Structure 1
Amino acid sequence: MSTIDEEAFAALKSEIEAWVTGPGEAWAERIEAEGDVPRELYEELRDNGWLSLAAPAELGGRGIPFSRYLELLEIVSRSHGSIRMLVHVNNGLWRALEPFVDESQRAVLAQSVSGEKLVAFTLTEATAGTGADIRSTVRREGDVYLLNGEKHLITFGVKCDYWLLFARLEGTSTADGAAGTVALLVPNTGLPGAEVIDDSETMGVRGTDHAILRFTDTPVPVSARIGEEGQGLDVALGGFLLPSRVSVAMSAVGLAERAQELAVEYALARETFGKKLATRPVIQAYLAENYADIAAARALVLEAARAYEEGRADAAALSSASKIVAVDMLARVTDKALQVHGGQGYWHRNAIERVYRDARAQRFEEGTNEIQKTVVARAVLAEAAAAADTATTRKATS
Structure 2
Amino acid sequence: MVDEERFDRVRDEVGQWVRGPGERWAERIEETGEVPEALWAELNGLGFLRMAAPVEYGGQGLGFAQWMELMEIFSRSHGSIRMIVHVVNGIWRSMDGHASDDQRKRFVVPSVMGEIKIAFTLTEPGNGTGADITASVTREGDTYYLSGRKHLITFGMRCDYYLLAARLADTSGHRGTVALLVPRDAPGVRAEDISDTMGVTGTDHASLVFDRTPVPVDHRIGEEGEGLDVFLGGFLTPSRISVAMSCVGLARRAQQLAFDHARTRVTFGKSLTERQAIQFMLAENATDIEAARQLVLHAARRFEAGADDASMQSSMAKMHAVTMLTTVTDKALQIHGGLGYWKSQTIERVYRDARAQRFEEGTNEVQKAVVFRELLRQGAATGGGER
User: TM-score w.r.t. structure 1 length?
Assistant: 0.95
Equivalent residue for 2:176, pick from 165, 180, 189: 180
Return the offset for 1:18: 1.0
AA in 1 matched with 2:110:
Q
In structure 1, the partner of 2:164 is 165
Paired position in structure 2 for 1:303: 298
Q: Which residue of 1 aligns with 2:25?
A: 27
The answer to whether residue 122 in structure 2 is matched with residue 120 in structure 1 is no
- Do the aligned partners of residues 287 and 224 (structure 1) sit closer, same or farther apart at CA in structure 2, a change above 3 Å counting? same
The answer as to whether partners of 2:379 and 2:385 remain within 8 angstroms in 1 is no
Q: What CA RMSD, in Å, does the superposition of the two structures yield over aligned residues?
A: 1.2
Comparing 336-345 with 221-230, greater Cα deviation is found at 221-230
Corresponding letter in the other structure for 2:205: H
Query: For 2:144 and 2:281, how far apart are their aligned partners in 1?
Result: 56
Q: Distance in 2 between matches of 1:287 and 1:145?
A: 56
1:149 corresponds to which residue? 148
Instruction: Give per-residue Cα distances to partners, 1:148-182, cap 9 Å, x unaligned.
Output: 10000100010011110110111112xxx211001
- Letter in structure 2 aligned against 1:11: R
Q: Does 1:379 align with 2:374?
A: yes
CA distance in 1, matches of 2:351, 2:77: 12
- Displaced runs of 4 or more, over 4 A: 389-392
Aligned residue runs from structure 1 range 301-340, under 5 A: 301-340=296-335
**Secondary structure in structure 2 of the residue aligned to 1:388:** coil
Whole-Å separation in 1 of the counterparts to 2:308 and 2:7: 29
Shift of 1:390: 8.3
State the one-letter code of the partner of 1:152: H
Unpaired runs of at least 5, structure 1: 393-398
Q: Could you tell me whether the CA contact under 8 Å between 2:135 and 2:148 is conserved in 1? A: yes
User: What displacement does 1:389 show?
Assistant: 5.7
Question: What's 2:353 paired with?
Answer: 358
Partner of 1:64: 62
Change beyond 3 A, Cα 1:9–1:389: closer
Q: Which moved more, 1:45-54 or 1:312-321?
A: 312-321
What amino acid is aligned across from residue 138 of structure 1 in structure 2?
Answer: V
Q: Secondary structure at the match of 1:380?
A: helix
Deviation (angstroms), 1:227 = 1.0
CA distance in 1, matches of 2:68, 2:216: 36
2:86 corresponding residue in structure 1: 88
Following the alignment from structure 1 to structure 2, what is the Cα–Cα distance between the partners of residues 302 and 36? Answer: 32
Q: Does 1:208 align with 2:207?
A: no
Give the secondary structure class of the aligned counterpart of 1:93.
Answer: helix
Q: Identical aligned pairs, as a percentage?
A: 60
Distance 2:299 2:99 in 1: 27
Matched, 1:266 2:261: yes
What is the CA distance between 1:26 and its match in structure 2? Answer: 0.7
Offset of residue 313 of structure 1: 1.8
- The one-letter amino acid of 1:300's match is L
Summarize deviations over 1:280-337 as a string: whole Å, max 9, x none.
1111111011000000000100110111111112111111000000010000000000
Partner of 2:131: 132
Contact kept, 8 Å, 2:295 with 2:317, in 1: the verdict is yes
CA contact (8 A) 2:378 2:385 kept: no
CA distance in 1, matches of 2:386, 2:77: 51
2:359 maps to a residue whose letter is: F
Describe how 1:17-56 pairs up with structure 2 within 5 A: 17-56=15-54
**Aligned counterparts of 1:148 and 1:112: Cα–Cα separation in 2:** 25
Instruction: From 101, 106, 118, give the equivalent of 1:103.
Output: 101
User: CA shift at 1:146, angstroms?
Assistant: 1.0
1:198 paired to 2:193? yes
Quick one: distance in 2 between partners of 1:318 and 1:391? 19
TM-score (norm 2): 0.98
Q: After superposing the two structures, state which structure 1 stretch, 111-120 or 262-271, moved more.
A: 111-120
In structure 2, C-alpha distance between the alignment counterparts of 1:90 and 1:82, rounded to whole Å: 12
Q: Which amino acid aligns with 1:337?
A: A
CA distances 1:86-130 after superposition (whole Å, capped 9, x unpaired): 001111111110111123321221010111211100000010111
Q: Deviation at 1:391?
A: 8.2
Larger mean CA deviation between 105-114 and 119-128 belongs to 105-114
How far, CA to CA, are the matches of 2:292 and 2:164 in structure 1?
A: 32
Read off the aligned partner of 2:180 and give its amino acid letter: L
What one-letter code is carried by the residue in structure 1 that aligns with 2:346? A
User: Separation in 2 of the partners of 1:49 and 1:388?
Assistant: 49
Three-state SS of the structure 2 residue aligned to 1:186 is: strand
Helix, strand or coil for the counterpart of 1:151? strand
Q: Secondary structure at the match of 1:332?
A: helix
